[in-house]
Structures are given as structure tokens and as C-alpha cells.
């Protein structure tokens, strides 16, 4: 349904996207992950026909975006990074305008606009001017605009940016619901979002695809071994020796001591679930077990892993010094923390 073939995009000397290829099958949701400046927005702009690629092709529903732009665009709903609202139109006027330019017949417009507003919960601001909306509402009206004409392909650039936790969950639900008869690409900085909503993930860094897989495989592959995280109150004792006694545990690394006890990461061989035994060991020592969960890799950690290996290899090949590693936006991930999945 969506095909990106060897797309390269240069802005003058800057290479924003470098030979990126991937495809999304009908009905799938693809998560497009990457740190700031990775080239996510640029790729999406090429896909939506906003700008032509320097090289390569983008195909939507069988139409080359730059050879048959009108046909391809008719199939596409696009939420740009900053929602393209006209400040002096009310939400209803704006959506009606969008319905018009998408060729929705006059008789249908009213119903379509109402449906889109209901699905994105913006009906309560229908008569407010777009310029006076809060960031979250702007984002939601932008989403309403994208789904209004019921396009086969949805391209959403950070659809949950700026939303409150409740809205984030509702938007994710909406996206999953849409996936049935729409093909979706969404970009994000937030890993839990991807594992919750997407069937496939493309990770892009500095314009290149560094990984493409299902979220589970990706986290699994990157884990290598399983890690669980503990918060224990040992009353000052060092828990390392006691934890290493537990069968299956291959390593222990100590974290900081805080008001919440001491943080400890316990590593085990892949496939072994040592949580029960570790908990038992802690309790039998008479320590307080304040928290136990399976450690999840954040996007930053995944990036660290992916980009480090890539660059170490490169450095080894060329004999250059290791360049500084770029990480994702910690703010975005931290903000999403409360909505991330609790450890299974």
C-alpha cells in the first residue's frame, strides 16, 4: 500500500534522508522511530507529495506520488508535525474547508465533519477559532482533518505530541481502530507507543534506516539477555552476593541508593524468568522488597545500542575516533512514562 524506494533527500549540502526503503502492507500500522533530526518528517513530506525526493520513488496505493500526484493525494490523509490550521476559521469551518478541497460532495460534508469531530473528541470546540485552541486541541483538529475524507493511507507525524495522558490513550485507540481499513505510518519518539500500537517498526537515525522489525523482535533482539530491576531496602548491606546465589542469575549491577531503597539490576540468561526466586532471596534475607519489574529498554537505550554498534563498526573500519552518540529526546520519553506499559 505504501512503498518507499531508495529515497534520498538533500537540503543543499545536508543529507536529511539517505537511501531509505521500506514498505507497509494494507491495514498495517508502521511506527517510524528516530531521534530529533533523524529525517522522519522529511520522509513523510516526500511520501505525502509535499516535496519531491532528490532520488528514489514513493508509491501510495499504486500511484507514484510525483507522477500521479492528485490520485496519490486523494488516498492520503496527512497530519503534519505542526497541525496546518487557519487561525481565523472555526473548527467546523476549517474541517468543512478540508472536506471541500478533498472533493467531498456537499450533501456528505456535514456528516463527515461531525464524524471526524466525534472520533477525535473535538466536538466541544466546534465553534471555537482554530487560532485560540490549546496545543492538544490543535493536534486533535489536525488529526480530524487527516481522517476526514476516510483515506486509505494515513501519515501521522507525531500524532500524540502535546496531548494529555487520557487523550494519548484515546488517540492510540483511535489509531488502532483505524488500522483495519487504513494503512498507517506514524512517527514518534516514544517506544511504548510503538510497542502498543504498531505492528512493525522502522528505526531511522541520521537519515538511514538502522533497524526494521516487529516491536517484540526488536526489544528482544536488543535485550540479548533478560534484565529485571529491583528496588530493595537492605539496610546498608551489599545485596550482590546473595543475589548471585539465585539460580539463573548471571550478573548483578548496583544502582543508586535513594529514599526508595537501592536500585539493583539483575541479569539472567535469556528465557529464564528469575523474578520469583530473586524475590524469595531478598525476602529470606530480611530485606524490604519495594519494587520488582522487568527492565524495558527505552528508545534512548535502543538508540544507544543501535547507533553505538553501527558507529563502532564504522570507526573500526575507517580507523576514526568514535563520534559522539546522538540520543533521542529524553523529555518526550519521560513525559510518556506514566502511560508506558507496566512490566508484564
Partner 1 sequence: MRNIATIAHKELRSYFVSPIAYVVVGFFAILFGYFFVANLSVMVRFSMQAGMFGMGGQSININEFMIRPLLSNTAIVLLFFLPFLTARAYAEEKKSGTIELLLTSPLSDLEIILGKFLGVLALFALMLVVTGAHMGILFWYGEPELGPMLSGYLGLLLMGASFISVGLLVSSATRNQVVAGVITFALLLLFWVLSWMADSVGPTSQAVLSYLSILEHFDDFSKGVIDTKHVTYYVSFIALGLFLTAKAVDTERWRG
Ligand X SMILES: Nc1ncnc2c1ncn2[C@@H]1O[C@H](COP(=O)(O)OP(=O)(O)OP(=O)(O)O)[C@@H](O)[C@H]1O
In the complex, which residues of this chain contact Mg ion (CB under 5 A)? 40-41, 81
Residues 53-82 touching ligand X, rule: CB under 6 A, are 81
The site that binds partner 1 (CB under 8 A) totals a number of residues, namely 32
| Contact residue for partner 1 among 31, 34, 39, 80 (CB under 8 A) | 80
| Contact residue for ligand X among 36, 217, 225, 253 (CB under 6 A) | 36
From the list ligand X, partner 1, Mg ion, none, pick the one residue 37 interacts with, judged by a Cβ distance below 5 to 8 Å according to partner type. ligand X
DSSP 8-state assignment for residue 130: G
Phi and psi (nearest 5°) for 59? -125, 125
Contact segment (CB under 8 A) with partner 1 among 56-64, 80-88, 192-200, 279-287 equals 80-88
Q: Of 119 and 189, which has the nearer Cβ to Mg ion?
A: 189
| Contact residue for partner 1 among 49, 215, 239, 261 (CB under 8 A) | 49
Contact segment (CB under 6 A) with ligand X among 32-40, 145-153, 276-284, 292-300 equals 32-40
What's the min distance (Å) between Cβ of 60 and partner 1?
11
Rounded Cα–Cα distance for residues 24 and 28 (Å): 6
What's the min distance (Å) between Cβ of 106 and partner 1?
10
Using the rule CB under 6 A, is 16 a contact of ligand X?
yes
Contact segment (CB under 6 A) with ligand X among 34-42, 94-102, 148-156, 209-217 equals 34-42
Asked if residue 40 lies in contact with residue 29, where contact means CB atoms within 8 angstroms, the answer is no
Q: Of 89 and 325, which has the nearer Cβ to partner 1?
A: 89
What's the min distance (Å) between Cβ of 197 and partner 1?
23
Q: Residues 26, 28, 34, 36: what is their CA dihedral angle, to the nearest 10 degrees?
A: 70
What's the min distance (Å) between Cβ of 281 and ligand X?
43
Q: Taking the chain, what is the end-to-end CA distance rounded to the nearest angstrom?
A: 34
Strands (E), 72-145: 76-79
| Contact residue for ligand X among 3, 5, 8, 37 (CB under 6 A) | 37
In the block, cell 516535496 appears at: 51
Asked if residue 141 lies in contact with residue 122, where contact means CB atoms within 8 angstroms, the answer is yes
**C-alpha distances out from residue 73 to 119, 275, 336, Å:** 22, 51, 32
Asked if residue 214 lies in contact with residue 199, where contact means CB atoms within 8 angstroms, the answer is yes
DSSP 8-state assignment for residue 219: H
Using the rule CB under 6 A, is 197 a contact of ligand X?
no
Asked if residue 117 lies in contact with residue 109, where contact means CB atoms within 8 angstroms, the answer is no
| Contact residue for partner 1 among 2, 24, 85, 91 (CB under 8 A) | 85
| Contact residue for ligand X among 29, 30, 31, 41 (CB under 6 A) | 41
Other beta carbons less than 10 A from residue 223's beta carbon: 18
Q: Of 33 and 218, which has the nearer Cβ to Mg ion?
A: 33
At a CB cut-off of 8 Å and minimum separation 6, what does 204 contact?
A: 17, 20, 32, 33, 34, 38, 39, 40, 43, 210
Q: What is the separation of C-alpha 219 from the centre of its chain, rounded to a whole number of angstroms?
A: 14
Chain residues binding ligand X by CB under 6 A are: 11, 14, 16, 34, 36-42, 81
Chain residues binding partner 1 by CB under 8 A are: 9, 11, 42, 45, 48-52, 69-71, 73-74, 76, 78, 80, 82-89, 97-98, 100-103, 145
Amino acid at each position: 500500500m505504501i512503498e518507499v524506494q531508495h529515497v534520498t533527500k538533500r537540503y543543499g549540502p545536508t543529507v536529511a534522508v539517505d537511501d531509505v526503503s521500506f514498505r507497509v502492507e494494507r491495514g498495517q500500522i508502521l511506527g517510524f522511530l528516530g531521534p530529533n533530526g533523524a529525517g522522519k518528517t522529511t520522509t513523510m513530506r516526500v511520501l505525502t507529495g509535499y516535496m519531491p525526493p532528490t532520488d528514489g520513488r514513493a508509491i501510495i496505493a499504486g500511484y507514484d506520488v510525483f507522477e500521479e500526484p492528485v490520485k496519490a493525494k486523494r488516498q492520503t490523509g496527512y497530519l503534519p508535525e505542526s497541525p496546518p490550521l487557519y487561525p481565523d476559521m472555526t473548527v467546523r469551518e476549517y474541517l468543512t474547508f478540508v472536506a471541500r478541497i478533498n472533493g467531498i460532495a456537499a450533501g456528505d460534508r456535514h456528516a463527515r465533519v461531525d464524524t471526524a469531530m466525534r472520533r477525535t473528541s473535538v466536538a466541544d470546540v466546534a465553534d471555537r477559532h482554530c487560532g485560540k485552541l490549546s496545543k492538544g486541541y490543535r493536534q486533535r483538529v489536525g488529526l480530524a482533518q487527516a481522517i476526514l475524507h476516510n483515506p486509505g493511507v494515513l501519515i501521522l507525524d507525531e500524532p500524540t505530541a502535546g496531548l494529555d495522558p487520557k487523550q494519548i490513550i484515546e488517540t492510540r485507540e483511535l489509531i488502532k481502530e483505524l488500522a483495519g481499513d487504513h494503512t498507517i505510518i506514524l512517527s514518534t519518539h516514544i517506544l511504548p507507543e510503538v510497542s502498543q500500537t504498531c505492528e512493525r517498526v522502522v528505526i531511522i537515525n541520521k537519515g538511514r534506516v538502522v533497524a526494521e522489525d516487529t516491536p517484540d523482535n526488536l526489544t528482544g533482539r536488543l535485550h540479548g539477555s533478560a534484565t529485571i530491576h529491583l528496588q530493595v531496602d537492605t539496610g546498608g548491606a551489599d545485596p550482590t552476593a546473595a543475589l548471585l546465589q539465585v539460580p539463573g542469575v548471571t550478573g548483578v549491577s548496583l544502582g543508586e541508593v535513594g529514599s526508595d531503597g537501592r536500585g539493583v539490576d539483575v541479569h539472567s540468561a535469556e528465557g529464564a524468568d528469575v523474578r520469583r526466586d530473586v524475590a524469595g532471596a531478598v525476602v529470606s534475607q530480611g530485606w524490604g522488597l519495594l519494587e520488582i519489574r522487568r527492565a524495558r529498554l527505552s528508545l534512548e537505550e535502543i538508540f544507544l545500542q543501535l547507533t553505538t554498534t553501527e558507529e563502532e563498526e564504522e570507526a573500526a573500519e575507517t580507523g576514526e575516533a568514535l563520534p559522539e552518540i546522538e540520543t533521542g529526546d529524553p523529555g518526550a520519553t519521560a513525559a510518556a512514562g506514566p502511560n508506558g506499559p507496566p512490566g508484564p
